Structure 1
Amino acid sequence: MALFDLLTPQQKTIVEHNSGPHLVIAGPGTGKTRVVTHKLAHLLKQGVDPETIFCTTFSNKAANDIKVKVAELVGKQEVELPWLGTFHSVMTKILRSEAKFLGYSTSFSIYDTEDSESLVTNIINDFNINSEALSPREVTRRISYLKNIMVFPEDLLKKEDRTSIEEKFIKLYQEYQRKIFNSDAMDLEDLILKSLEVLKTQKKVHNKYKKKFIYFIFDEFQEFSKAQYEIIKLLSSKAGKICAVGDDSQSIYSWRGASLDNIAAFKEDFSRVKQFPLEEDFRTSGNIFKAGNEIISKNSSFVPKKSFTKNEPRELLSLIKCSDEKDEAYQLAKFIKDEIAENKYSYCDFAVLYRTNNQCRAFEDVFAEEGLPYKIYGNVEYYRRREIKDLIAYLKVIINPRDEESLLRIMNFPQRGIGMTTIKRMVAFLKKHDVTLFETMGRVFEVIDIKERIQKNVKNFKILLDKYIALRDKLSVGELTHTLVAELELQRLFNEETTHESLEKIDNLNAFLVSISEFSNKYPEATIEEYLRIVNLMTDLDSINETDNAIKLMTIHSAKGMEFPVVFVSGLEEQLFPLSTKFSSEATVEEERRLFYVAVTRGKYKVYLSHARARYRFGEVAYENRSMFINELPPALLKEENASQNRKGRKTKKEKIIQKFQSIGYVDWEHQKSLIKQGSRVFHEQFGLGKVIAVIGAGDNQKVTVVFDGNNMKQLMLKFAKLKVQN
């Protein structure tokens, strides 16, 4: 197959053009990735040295995918494109050689966001600052944003009449910059800023790379920061062979310093810029295409384009009205099942998109309950979040004190002065005496080299666990968990942190308690083991790979550059989408609308829009109107779904359990004897669901006492009862 066989005339013209600066405006589904890969392949086939090509993408995965595709196009197993990658990765490569001119070693450390926040936390503690407005998370986020827009402490000092909070923030920012430099480290923003600095201040370095690079290809150009754009201007000439690919309508990262002005500036800063439009949308159906245009045209900054699609209109966008987030999740699950039945889709054909990470909890719960496999992108699943995993670890230890991993996890949660040194000494003791860690805690006074104060802490923790081990058969799962959380004083602990993160922890904690209460109310006799079985089903999904047949759950930002046959855009309520400025100071209606445009145009054939009348947020129920974005869509493009019909067909958990029992065959009673024990869940054709409370006798005369629904107690001969057992 020839290189240009799969290209449209528009795409072929762009690929072949390498005589000067050119701007490619590429809307959703117009084939911009195909243009980038073919452009690289075309250069290599012309004999261009890969060392002279500077090509950046928005993600490492995109860079790897492009590399594989280019190799395929040029007929090789692999190709060398050493300067293909994200802007940060390419700049890091330059800095490893040149950072010595700025006072860094060639082995400088790179701090991720967590490292930066840890450093900020230490600085705040050193300065003894206690202010909710200057929490570690907020200070870190603010420093990152300011560095991305190239605003530094000295710039902030120029402002007169600064408030006390502003003065303290400037001091924190100054100290952060000093400490990170003294640590021979750079944060993610520094990788760009220090590259710009070394190119500006070191003439030899500047000349070296300006001579080195001849061809420039920049994907997702609309997301470039001011510093990145300055680097482009330094490395290339005004008439250079530069290809900038982007779409102003899909700029959604202003909080990372992305500037819409870059596209307009490019036309002014470079000579005789040729502009190429990619106008045909090959991805979306006719109705989704129309909806996308209606959405983005409402922005005052929107630049009209002559875009079109030849795709069939297919279905209208479906609008789903929900009572709350749980109902939303159930309804989406129902529509997914319907789509699979009617259109033969696979699970991997569906994506559920949301504005904020904490919206995914309801989907996790319901999809697991409904037997729908899912994979979360760009977030840690609800039951993998630290504070929730810690509580689940408590429950695991309460039912199984030999569970060493869970016990180690909660040994110092909440903090009780039991550090790693103490734990190491206890582990040495248990190995020497062949006992469990839990037993060692009961004998902690025998462990040498542990201070008496810490020994008492360990003993008190053991007493706490013993108490709940004794209560596990006396309280329901919900009662026990609520009592435990109250005794651990987690609510107070998180409240005292006074950070944005602590609000999320409180929200997650409350959501967890609500969830476990709902379970306990539905199944008052359920044991901790039965609850954990459900939780384990959820956490097992963490092992799914990207290629697995699973529904994708992700934020809209994470979905950038992706496409799916069926897309659900959830949480379309005021304050949530568009996100209120009280939750994100950088949020603007125009960028939120661009985000909605990106969300809708991820769909190829079908898009569902859902909104809830009530939603649990920050520890309380919030009632909001449906999003203004829904109201901006023409009614002719929307189809309102019948929510009551969905609820009418919804099975209860009890009905699902009965259905499961009815689908399995009876196992002969000889085998039953090895399965049935006290606490077993069973099913009888006449009496229904039940729980074994006693097993009496042996052999042919073995009897079981079972409490069936309605507190109906029966004593049955196991040999003749024909019970089905839930393993």
Structure 2
Amino acid sequence: ATTMDKLTLAANHYKRSIFEVIENIEKIDLKINKGTQTKLKNFTNMIKSFQIMASNKNAFEVAEAVAKKTGLVQELKKDGTPEGIARIENVEELLNGIQDFVDGQQELADADGSLGEFLEDVALMTDLDQETPDEDRVALMTIHLAKGLEFPYVYIVGLEEDLFPSGMSMNTRSELEEERRLFYVALTRAEKQAYLTYVQSRFRWGKLIDAEPSRFIEEIDDEYLDYMVPQDDYKYKPLIDRDIFGEIDKSKLRQNKPKKGTPPPAHKPTEDELRKLRRLRPADASTPTKADIPLQLEAGQLVEHMRFGKGKVLSIEGVGQDKKAEIDFETGGMKKLLLRFAKLKILS
């Protein structure tokens, strides 16, 4: 506090920012000892290095460097309270969101996925969210916030080891029991049915890692579980008139809805099904996927994009890997997409 007071007074006296005062601290006699001066200079050097990174690196690379070099995450880990753990999870989700944004920007011919672009996108998204009309929607909330509430259908997502239960709760038996009680709270919010889901791989701190099903799932008696096996090629299918996992083999699901107040009839999965549920094998890297097949577009076609909505192709230019399409989207506006990265669905 004393150092900050001296820096503030000097900044006011010289009509400069505190940052500029620190940059020239050796030229100003502020009665600050050499050790503190060194720490202040190291801070300004660190910020300058981030500025250089921001000019030639993408948003995720900059954000990850900031999280590591500032010691932010290490400092938050010292706080073992639920609030401290929530802060770490927030930082992790922020990094995941930035990585997702950078991947999406690869499609745009005039985008570089920079930190500036990310901040602009977040600002625009926030304004859009505030104007969303009041209508029926899914209630997304934390389990703590759901205490005392009930819903006909509840979806508990992210049931994976190190996520739920949290990796921060593995130190003692009491911490693990608290996570188990929290899972019980989530499960008993459902009046009719609860869906428990997990993934085979997940972005953690911006990197794709293998995931393992939560121990809490295995602790439930099979009598109360009805397994739902998604298709291998399932991805981003619309939920209307489909099961929550898209079109799947109905023989793996119950055929008749249970009466209210009774548990659903058990479906005893085969060993192969269980193995598939617990660890789906990754696709053979040598097998071509839809993303590897070049998109054949023509001007005038109608297309759909997960992020920008429906649109009309206005023109195609370039050849080979540099081929790009200019598309007028209903919600995303005019965009120029690189076809080798574009995640488009041709409507007509």
TM score, norm. by length of structure 2: 0.50
TM-score by length of 1: 0.27
Structure of larger gyration radius:
1
Bigger relative contact order (CA 8 A; separation at least 6): 1
